[in-house]
Amino acid sequence: MVSNNLAKLVENKQIIAIVCNQFGDTGKGKFSDYFASHWADVIARGTGGNNAGHTIVVNGKQKIFHLLPSGITEDSKGKINILGNGMVIDIKALCEELEELEKEDISYNNLMISKDAHVIMPWHVSQDRAKNMSQKSGGIGSTGRGIGPCYADKTARRGIKIADLFDKEVLEYKINKIKQFYPEQNIDFKKVLKESSPYIKKIKPFVKNTIQEIHKFKDQGKKICIEGAQGLFLSIEHGTYPYVTSSDPSINGTASGVGLNAQDVDLTLGIIKFPFMTRVGAGPFPSELGGQKSEDYCAEGLEHDINYELKTHLGGGDNKKEKITELMNSQDEFLQGVGIRLAAGEYGATTKRPRRTGWTDAVLAKYARKINGPHFIFTKVDSLAGAKKFGICYGHKLNGSTITDYDPNGKFLKQIKPEIKFYEGYSDISKIRDFKDLPEGLKQAIQDFEQFTGGKVKIISVGPDRDETIVR
């Protein structure tokens, strides 16, 4: 059922993009699925690869996608899902995701894979794991999926495109040329070909000139939902460099990654977790609860996974929910952050790592408005039910002065302290479907946030399920 407010929001729109205005994991999957099921004919991803973990929940059932667009469960209705030219694709990982669909009897007849996307090869994964993954040993804490090395080869003009997989001569030539850049890896063309040929065969029927296809769909008047990956502050252009991913997940990089122009997009919706936010991996996070202690603790990764936290911070036993609420209301900011992580289930969809938690940063959102436009979606608002108060960061303090503009300089961001305004907390809001019924403290915070950032909140998400959604 399409609500009146949703009908108004999409009125006269042909291309809508869902991007993240924070550090990823804000609910792009939920909203790509939402627009796929209620509106779009075509769903296209434009950046990143299987570093992404996009969760959708339909009738209480959860699915996580890494490479496939989150509209894939709508395939049987004839909806087209596209892996765009800006993506980096691990074909083995892609085939594993397709096999998952097969097990669940979900069709993918209308899937399209760009012939121009780059291929993540085994040596990219090995190099990424050796150099970037472990935060403990000073790496940036990448997802270890080979993303950085693959984009590096793309930029250095020696990458392998999907189309190259179908031309043995070109592939052999390229692989033999690439060898010198990975001297420690003993790359052998014949071995690579043997290992990858089942995957190459499986994806072949879906490989297309997707740039041509998407323009055809546009000209036919089909409704297109562009699904962003990662987040603006992980962008190679706008993020907290060098603690970033290697693509540009802003609306510009995302549109270009599906073969469109950002100006073709009629509505960009930038997602913000509110009133708390998260980051996974290393890098500055000015409003992090517990500061450096939280960053170091989360850097331990799976050693501090959900089971560890339940055991250590809740001490096992009954009354789990009450104990989590107690932690969320702790006077100790680090423990408060742990409480929010437990309450909101903030553990990586791809790596299961604990996500660092902190108050939503309006300074970052103000910058995001400049790049991704003024329309916001707030997600996970329900997760903070039970917190007596919540904070929003409206300034970055350095040497006694307050800065309200974001500067993408990792070192500088590490030194600042957040300036937080507190609001009255709220109880369960997951059943609310009308904006005016939201609690007063929350509405006040939304109003202040809009005024500070110049943005406008169009949608409020009050649960993981597709329709636990308020369109304003």
- Please tell me whether residue 29 binds ligand GDP under the rule CB under 6 A: yes
Burial of 6-22, coded b for 16+ CB within 10 Å and e otherwise, reads beebbeeebbbbbbbbb
Q: Is-catalytic flag, 396?
A: no
The CA distance from 349 to 130, in Å, is 22
Stretch 219-278 residues interacting with ligand IMO (CB under 6 A):
229-231, 234, 245-246
- Given 124, 324, 463, 471, the residue binding ligand GDP (CB under 6 A): 463
- Given 238, 380, 396, 458, the residue binding ligand GDP (CB under 6 A): 380
- Please tell me whether residue 349 binds Mg ion under the rule CB under 5 A: yes
Closest CA to 226 of 432, 443, 70: 70
**Residue 68 dihedral angles phi and psi, to the nearest 5°:** -70, 140
Among the listed ranges 83-91, 109-117, 134-142, 450-458, the one in contact with ligand IMO (CB under 6 A) is 134-142
* In the complex, least distance from residue 158 CB atom to ligand GDP, rounded to whole angstroms: 30
DSSP structure string for 44-112: EE-SB-TT--EEEEETTEEEEESSS-TTGGGGGGT-EEEE-TTBEE-HHHHHHHHHHHHHTT---TTEE
Closest CA to 445 of 230, 193, 272: 272
Name residues whose C-beta falls within 8 Å of residue 1's C-beta, 6 or more positions apart in sequence.
none
Name residues whose C-beta falls within 8 Å of residue 65's C-beta, 6 or more positions apart in sequence.
29, 52, 53, 54, 56, 72, 97
Reported residue count of the chain is 472
Q: In the 8-state DSSP scheme, what is residue 233?
A: G
- Given 9, 10, 15, 20, the residue binding ligand GDP (CB under 6 A): 20
- Please tell me whether residue 250 binds ligand GDP under the rule CB under 6 A: no
- Given 383, 384, 396, 445, the residue binding ligand GDP (CB under 6 A): 383
Among the listed ranges 125-133, 212-220, 449-457, 459-467, the one in contact with ligand GDP (CB under 6 A) is 459-467
Q: Is-catalytic flag, 54?
A: yes
- Given 239, 379, 416, 470, the residue binding ligand GDP (CB under 6 A): 379
SS3 state of residue 260: coil
Q: Which is nearer to ligand IMO, 235 or 256 (CB)?
A: 235
Catalytic residue among 33, 38, 41, 54: 54
Partner from ligand IMO, ligand GDP, Mg ion, none binding residue 147, C-beta < 5-8 Å depending on class: ligand IMO
Cis check for the bond before 275: say yes or no (omega within 30 of 0): yes
* In the complex, least distance from residue 70 CB atom to ligand IMO, rounded to whole angstroms: 10
- Please tell me whether residue 94 binds ligand IMO under the rule CB under 6 A: no
Residues acting as catalytic residues = 25, 54
Q: Which residues bind Mg ion (CB under 5 A)?
A: 25, 53, 349
Q: Which residues bind ligand GDP (CB under 6 A)?
A: 20, 24-30, 52-55, 57, 349, 379-380, 382-383, 461-464
Q: Which residues bind ligand IMO (CB under 6 A)?
A: 20, 23-25, 51-54, 140-143, 145, 147-148, 229-231, 234, 245-246, 280-281
